[in-house]
Amino acid sequence: MVIHTRLRAILFPLALYAVSGGIGSYFVWHAMNGERGEKTRIANKAKIRALNEDLAGLRKERADWDRRVAMMQTTAVDRDLLEEETRLTLGRLHRNELVILLPPSAPQ
C-alpha cells in the first residue's frame, strides 16, 4: 500500500506536467505556424510591400497615360505627341533624320 501511494504521488504530478506541457506546446506551435501565426503574418507583410510597389508603378503609369490623353483631348493636339505616335505607328523616317525613342519609363 505504501508503494502505491508513493507511485501515485510521483506519477500524478508527472502526468499533469506532461499534459499541460503538451497543451502549451500545441498553442505555441499554432502561434508560430498556424493560419494566423507569426510566419503567416511576416509572409503577408512581404506580399503587402510587393503589392504596394506594384501599385506605385501602376499609379505612375496611369498618370503618364492621363497626361498623354489630356494632350490629345484639347482643341489643339500637341504636335510633338502626334508626330511621335505617327512615327511609331507607321515606322517612317526622313532620309536625314536620326530618331532616338526612349522607353516609356524614362523621364521625358
Residue ranges covered by each domain of the chain: 2-90
Structure-block grid coordinates of residue 59: 499609379
Residue by residue, DSSP assigns 28-42 as HHHHHHSTTSHHHHH
CA distance 16 to 50: 47
**What is the reported pTM?**
0.53
CA–CA distances in Å: residue 35 to residues 27, 43, 71, 74, 97 = 12, 11, 50, 54, 62
Name the DSSP letter for residue 75.
S
Q: How confident is the model at residue 1 (pLDDT cuts 50, 70, 90)?
A: low
- What is the per-residue pLDDT across 7-32, written as a single tens digit (0 to 9) for each? 888 899 999 999 999 999 999 999 99
pLDDT at 37 over 80: yes
Q: pLDDT of 64-87, one tens digit each?
A: 888 888 877 767 777 777 777 777
